[in-house]
C-alpha cells in the first residue's frame, strides 16, 4: 500500500442529501464514502473515514489517528473552517500534510465563508467540485505520498 489517508467530514455533513440540495447536491454522505473507498482500493491507499459534529471529537480523531496511523489528512471542516482555531492548532501540532476540501465553492458564497482558519496549515485546498472534491483531495494526498 502507498500509505494511510485519514478522511474527516465535519459538522452537518451527515445530513447530505437532505440539507440544502441546491448548494450541496442530492448525494448522501454514504455515497461519498463509497466513492472514497472504491477510489482508495483502486489506487492502493488505506483510508479511514470519520464524520463528527463536535469540534472536540474532530480534534481527538486528528490527534489519535495522526499519532498512530495517518500519513495524510483530507478534511472537510465544514462550518468549523471559518471558526475553529482549535482544529487549526490540532492540524498544526500533529504536522501531517493536510488537504482541505469543500463540496461548494466557499468563495462564491456568503462573505463570512471566505476566510478559512484551516487553509494556512494545509498543503492546499479543493473546493466547488461537489462530491468529486473528495476524490480530488485523495489525488492530492497520493501526490504527497509519492513525493515523500
Kindly list the catalytic residues.
24, 102
C-alpha cell at 27: 448525494
Q: How far is CA 20 from CA 31, 69, 111, 127, in A?
A: 17, 34, 18, 17
Alpha carbons 20 and 67: distance in angstroms, whole number: 36
Tell me the H-state helices in the chain: 21-24, 29-43, 55-68, 85-94, 132-147
Torsion sign across C-alpha atoms 17, 84, 98, 136: positive
Amino acid at each position: 500500500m502507498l500509505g494511510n489517508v485519514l478522511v474527516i467530514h465535519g459538522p452537518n455533513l451527515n445530513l447530505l442529501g437532505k440539507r440544502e440540495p441546491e448548494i450541496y447536491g442530492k448525494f448522501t454522505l454514504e455515497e461519498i464514502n463509497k466513492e472514497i473507498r472504491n477510489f482508495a482500493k483502486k489506487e492502493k491507499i488505506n483510508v479511514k473515514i470519520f464524520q463528527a459534529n463536535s469540534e472536540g471529537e474532530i480534534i481527538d480523531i486528528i490527534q489519535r489517528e495522526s499519532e498512530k496511523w495517518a500519513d495524510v489528512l483530507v478534511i472537510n471542516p465544514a462550518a468549523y473552517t471559518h471558526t475553529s482555531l482549535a482544529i487549526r492548532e490540532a492540524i498544526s501540532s500533529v504536522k501531517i500534510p493536510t488537504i482541505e476540501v469543500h463540496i461548494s465553492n466557499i468563495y462564491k458564497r456568503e462573505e463570512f465563508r471566505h476566510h478559512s482558519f484551516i487553509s494556512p496549515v494545509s498543503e492546499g485546498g479543493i473546493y466547488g467540485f461537489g462530491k468529486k472534491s473528495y476524490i480530488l483531495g485523495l489525488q492530492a494526498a497520493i501526490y504527497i505520498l509519492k513525493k515523500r
